[in-house]
Chain A
Amino acid sequence: MVSAYLPSLLAGALTTLCLALSSLAIAIVLGLAGASGRLSRRPAVRAIATAYTTIVRGVPDLVLMLLIFYGGQRLINFAIEKLAPGHYVDVNPFAAGIATIGFVYGAYLGETFRGAFLAIPAGQAEAALACGMSTLQVLRRVTGPLMLRHALPALSNNWLVMLKSTAIVSVIGLPDLMQRAGLAAGATREPFVFYIAAGGVYLVITVISETLLQAWQRRLRVGTREVRL
């Protein structure tokens, strides 16, 4: 009877994966923008970027999600009512989910990118400029790869955290892995089995992610040395 719920769980797992990947795309874009905003010389740009990061870091994902899902939808429709009465914009739960998670993790990625930018010795960029490279070339050949090496461990962490974060979308009713596990648990009165199964699926996705990311990190780390106690 328990195994009968397997197709339902797998469908939920697929939803979760799509949710995570779509959110990542949005988060990377927002993160790069946020990082350059934080490092900008113009105080106004810095202030906006800082406010973005601060608000997102200061409010739990769940609260933001509930706010965006119910409140945001109401706001949009209120505006649409004024502009084009009779029509409505339906932000489906999936869109609300990736918007929230992408928005939230854009801020975290921004911090990661900022830390990575700062970890690069200033001399590297200066030397590159002295060699006559343009600013874009410096970014592409020197700062970018160096930043990636510094950022990747934290980025991997961010991805894993974001993947887990998608679980809260179940609270607003999206039929992801968690929600389906919860309903199956209630119907069969066997919560242990189903939550272990759900955990197992997240773990599998994590293992695959980590393997790939570790390989990438190792490749970028060639030539440096680690501490072993």
Chain B
Amino acid sequence: MNGQPILDNAWLFAHGLATTLGLLSASLLAGGALAVPMAVARTSRHWWMARPVWLFTYAIRGTPLLVQLYLLYYGVAQFEAVRNSVAWVALRSAWFCAALAMAINTCAYTTEMLAGAIRSLPYGELEAADALGMSAWQRLRRIVLPLAFRRSIPAYSNETVMMLHGTSLASVVTLVDVTGVARDINSRFYLPFEAFLTAAALYLALTFALVAAFRQAERRWLAPLRRGN
């Protein structure tokens, strides 16, 4: 194993790491924030609120992130009208296209996850809130959402890790993230093991950090639901 080229290019991996983390945070924040109102709409008893959201999550969850990425990056740029519009300032950038695709993707999955958590709440909690005279908005803010968030913690930890893995696809649309650096080194020096093992190690470290953070959150907020073993 020849590790020298890896060490020589450590700065490249550092840059790649920055790109990866930037993409991850931007997409999680944007997608996650949008998912909360969408989840509430999704669990509404009014079909005109629930259906459109369902259609959106269905379409996004039903297609690979890679397709969404290609569509936003290459597909949209195909049209002259888009290239001459004001949106092109943003869509021109590969980073923006990738972040947007990932934000939309995580929004859809997070919406469904939160909606599922809301639906699985013990009905008694809602009845108690109503009995105490809370308005729908108060019930949402004080009971439904906090409880739903807690129940979503294990599933959301999975979602953030999935998104981290999703960022590796950014290398397919010219972005030089951790995977992109590994591919460049592999094709320049013909060292697949060294390049991809380094990338794998970096992703592992990031995942450990994420999972540890969520484990702390689980320990703190899911105590009442813990099973005695």
Residue A95 lies at the interface, judged by CB distance under 8 Å to chain B = no
Q: Which residues of A contact B120 (CB under 8 A)?
A: 226-227
- Among B3-11, B59-67, B91-99, B215-223, the stretch in contact with A: B59-67
Partner of B203, one of A63, A196, A203: A63
Residue B142 lies at the interface, judged by CB distance under 8 Å to chain A = no
Distance of A185 Cα from B65 Cα, bound (Å): 17
Partner of B64, one of A71, A122, A202, A228: A202
Would B63 and A192 count as touching, CB distance under 8 A?
no
Q: Write the chain A residue with the least CB distance to B68.
A: A199
Q: Which residues of B contact A58 (CB under 8 A)?
A: 161, 200, 203-204, 206-208
Would A60 and B67 count as touching, CB distance under 8 A?
no
Distance of A196 Cα from B193 Cα, bound (Å): 35
Q: Which residues of A contact B121 (CB under 8 A)?
A: 227
Q: Write the chain A residue with the least CB distance to B121.
A: A227
Give chain A nearest CB distance to B153 CB in angstroms.
Answer: 12
Would B63 and A202 count as touching, CB distance under 8 A?
yes
Residue interface mask A59-72, B partner, CB < 8 A = 1: 11111101100110
Partner of A202, one of B67, B118, B166: B67
Residue A94 lies at the interface, judged by CB distance under 8 Å to chain B = no
Would A196 and B118 count as touching, CB distance under 8 A?
no
Partner of B66, one of A168, A196, A207: A168
Q: Contacts A118-B227, A228-B119, A229-B40: A178 and B64 contacting too (C-beta < 8 A)?
A: yes
Q: Which residues of A contact B71 (CB under 8 A)?
A: 191-192, 195-196, 199
Partner of A198, one of B67, B172, B179, B200: B67
Partner of B62, one of A66, A165, A168, A207: A207
Q: Which residues of B contact A61 (CB under 8 A)?
A: 165, 168
Q: Which residues of B contact A55 (CB under 8 A)?
A: 204
Residue B188 lies at the interface, judged by CB distance under 8 Å to chain A = no
Would B70 and A206 count as touching, CB distance under 8 A?
no
In the A-B complex, list the 8 residue pairs whose CB atoms are closest, starting with the nearest. Answer: A206-B62, A60-B165, A164-B64, A192-B75, A58-B207, A60-B168, A70-B192, A167-B64
Give chain B nearest CB distance to A96 CB in angstroms.
Answer: 13
Would A71 and B193 count as touching, CB distance under 8 A?
yes
Residue interface mask A204-228, B partner, CB < 8 A = 1: 0011001000000000000001111
Q: Write the chain B residue with the least CB distance to A153.
A: B116
Distance of A225 Cα from B226 Cα, bound (Å): 22
By size class, the interface of chain B is 35 or more
Give chain A nearest CB distance to B2 CB in angstroms.
Answer: 13
Distance of A67 Cα from B64 Cα, bound (Å): 21
Within 8 A of A (CB), among B152-206: 154, 158, 161-162, 164-169, 171-172, 179, 182-183, 186, 192-193, 196-197, 199-200, 203-204, 206
Would A57 and B199 count as touching, CB distance under 8 A?
no
Partner of B172, one of A161, A171, A229: A171
Q: Which residues of B contact A210 (CB under 8 A)?
A: 62
Would B75 and A164 count as touching, CB distance under 8 A?
no
Partner of B168, one of A62, A161, A192: A62
Give chain A nearest CB distance to B146 CB in angstroms.
Answer: 14
Q: Write the chain A residue with the least CB distance to B72.
A: A195
Q: Which residues of B contact A203 (CB under 8 A)?
A: 59, 62-63
Residue B48 lies at the interface, judged by CB distance under 8 Å to chain A = no
Would B203 and A59 count as touching, CB distance under 8 A?
yes
Give chain A nearest CB distance to B206 CB in angstroms.
Answer: 8
Partner of A60, one of B40, B126, B158, B179: B179
Residue A126 lies at the interface, judged by CB distance under 8 Å to chain B = no
Would A228 and B207 count as touching, CB distance under 8 A?
no
30 residue pairs A–B, Cβ–Cβ below 8 Å: A54-B207, A58-B200, A58-B206, A60-B168, A60-B179, A61-B165, A62-B168, A62-B171, A63-B179, A164-B64, A171-B172, A189-B78, A191-B70, A192-B75, A192-B76, A195-B70, A199-B64, A202-B62, A202-B63, A202-B64, A206-B62, A210-B62, A227-B43, A227-B118, A227-B119, A227-B120, A227-B126, A228-B43, A229-B43, A229-B45
